[in-house]
Amino acid sequence: MLERLSWKKLAVELLFFCVPALLLGLLIDHVLLLLLLSTFAALGWHFYNLLKLSKWLWLDRSITPPPGNGTWEPLFYGLYQMQQRNRRRRRELTLLIKRFRSGAESLPDGVVLMTDEGQLFWCNRLAQHLLSFRWPEDNGQHILNLLRYPEFSHYLKSQNFERPLTLQLNSDRYIEFRIMPYSIGQLLMVVRDVTVMRQMDGSRSNFFANVSHELRTPLTVLQGYLEMLNDDTLVGPMRTKALSTMQEQSRRMESLVQQLLTLSRIEAAPTLDLTEQVDIPAMLRMLQQEAITLSGGCHRIVFRINESLKVYGNEEQLRSAVSNLVYNSVKHTPEGTTIEVCWQRTAGGAQFQVSDNGPGISSEHLIHLTERFYRVDKARSRNTGGSGLGLAIVKHALSHHDARLDIFSDIGLGSRFVFTIPNRLIVDMKLTENPITD
Ligand code: ADP
């Protein structure tokens, strides 16, 4: 094991050169001359080693320094050790940077590193994508040259980063910027796409506006009549009419609240485990009676049901789905319309279909029908007690059963609402091949 250079070693080396010269000098009586020669020899040897070291430092590309002897050996070895230590540290640092970068790449947010003057020096791929940076071309650019939004430049210049800044970029995306100082003279900017959150906020406030609007109309009617009743201005047939209108309006509010509760229950329901058997044929038989009552005999209603076709699912949700579709075909079609409800096996699964030969729905409305509160003819639909929530309920209930509502309609020809419960949710497939009964 080599040790560092010490005074002792240097003295030994000096003796190594001087003692033989001294002895020989005494022998031949030329002590001074031989001591001078030995000093030159020592000097020459050190020069030689210095040149070796310089050549290795400047020209040689090998990692190991040249072998050294005597007092030079610990120096060469010390240099070698230092180099090894540096290499190890560099490797550790490279690994650390790699880890940091791959960590920053897998973050769900964009990350941008810049100097406190705004000079960009690193960003992850998500930031490049969200902010449309070209990398590495934009490396070293000033951030304000790349993000030309007055609010952003004001935010950066104010140096007040307590609150995040949200901007709508030219790409129409809403991006939230959070800047925080880190290390000395450097800034870390986190960018997040908050477009969906914004849209959700928008649809939530839309939803509340719709609910308030839907409730306000019947409430105004009720209030008006109540005031008149209070003033005793309503007498005779007017009073009877007022009471029946008030009853109708309160029924409307009750039905709206009921539908809102159903929708929120279905939306909030966790993923169903779908192990409950649902007897759809029995459900449809009851629904047939209810539809006939609702129609008051004004429609021709035909039910074609595969009596043994049961499915796994959630009874309440499936009842909401099928009843909304059947009631709609009665509510939204005129007298004399033929309505056909079919529950049958198909190659894709258990198919439910309600078709009518009513007035139909024009094509521009079809994609909006499952939106909450969407009605084709608002005035007409309100008269029939519709809230515009029925098909939204159907859509959500079906999505919990891996099914989708398809709507086909032609003006003047009628409408068809179809969904198919997948084969894996059908109970005892052998029994389902029974013929359909009318
Ligand atoms: P509503 O409570 O008004 O029935 P829905 O969400 O159930 O709300 O239906 C949305 C709209 O779709 C209805 O207002 C109606 O205009 C239209 N619609 C639904 N079913 C039919 C149908 N069978 N024929 C014609 N229009 C329909």
Q: List the domains of the chain with CATH numbers.
A: 7-89 (no CATH), 107-193 (3.30.450.20), 204-268 (1.10.287.130), 277-429 (3.30.565.10)
- Going edge to edge, which strands form the sheet with 186-193? 120-123, 110-115, 186-193, 174-182, 165-168
Mean pLDDT of the chain: 89
Output the CA torsion sign for 126, 132, 138, 142: negative
Whole-number Å distance between alpha carbons of 129 and 77: 51
State which of 211, 327, 375 you would mutate to test the pocket of ligand 1, scoring each by most atoms of that ligand within 8 A of its C-beta.
Answer: 375
387 lines ligand 1 (CB under 6 A): yes
At residue 414 the predicted structure's pLDDT band, cuts being 50, 70 and 90, is: very high
- Cα(376) to ligand 1 centroid in Å equals 7
Helix (H) or strand (E) segment spanning residue 73: helix 72-105
Nearest CA to ligand 1 atom 2: 386
**366, pLDDT greater than 80:** yes
C-alpha pair distances (Å), 278 with each of 225, 275, 312, 345: 45, 9, 6, 15
Give the mutation target among 322, 341, 352, 369 for probing the ligand 1 site: most ligand atoms within 8 A of CB: 369
Q: Which of 162, 169, 165, 156 is nearest to 195 (CA)?
A: 169
Number of Cβ within 10 Å of residue 196's Cβ equals 10
Q: For 437, which DSSP code?
A: B
Q: Is 381 in the pocket of ligand 1 (CB under 6 A)?
A: yes
Each residue's pLDDT tens digit, 38-81: 999 999 999 999 999 999 888 887 878 888 888 898 898 888 89
Q: Is 70 exceeded by the pLDDT of residue 319?
A: yes
207-265 residue pLDDT tens: 888 889 888 888 998 998 888 888 777 778 888 888 898 998 898 899 889 989 998 88
Q: Does residue 372's CB lie within 6 angstroms of at least one atom of ligand 1?
A: no
pLDDT average, residue stretch 430-434: 50
Distances (CA, A) of 135 to 53, 120, 123, 129: 43, 11, 8, 10
CA-closest candidate to residue 306, choices 333, 275, 346: 346
> What is the mean pLDDT of the segment spanning 20-25?
93
**Which atom of ligand 1 is found nearest the CA of 388?**
8
User: How does pLDDT run across 77-131, given as a tens digit for each residue?
Assistant: 888 899 899 999 999 999 999 998 888 888 899 999 999 899 999 999 999 999 9
208 CA to centre of own chain: 25
Whether this model's pTM surpasses 0.75? no
Report pLDDT for 435.
46
CA distance 335 to 321: 24
Residue 343 three-state SS: strand
Task: Specify the pLDDT at position 235.
Answer: 77
Give CA–CA dist 130/112, Å, rounded.
11
Q: Is 333 in the pocket of ligand 1 (CB under 6 A)?
A: yes
355 lines ligand 1 (CB under 6 A): no
pLDDT of residue 152: 94
Is the Cβ–Cβ distance between 285 and 305 less than 8 Å? yes
Question: Where do we find the tokens 């059947």?
Answer: 326
Return the residue whose CA atom lies nearest to atom 7 of ligand 1.
Answer: 390
391 lines ligand 1 (CB under 6 A): yes
| Nearest protein Cα to ligand 1, atom 16 | 376
What are 260-312's pLDDT values in tens digits? 999 888 888 777 677 889 999 999 999 999 999 999 989 999 999 999 999 99
SS3 408: strand
Let me know: does 124 contact 110? Beta carbons within 8 Å. Answer: yes
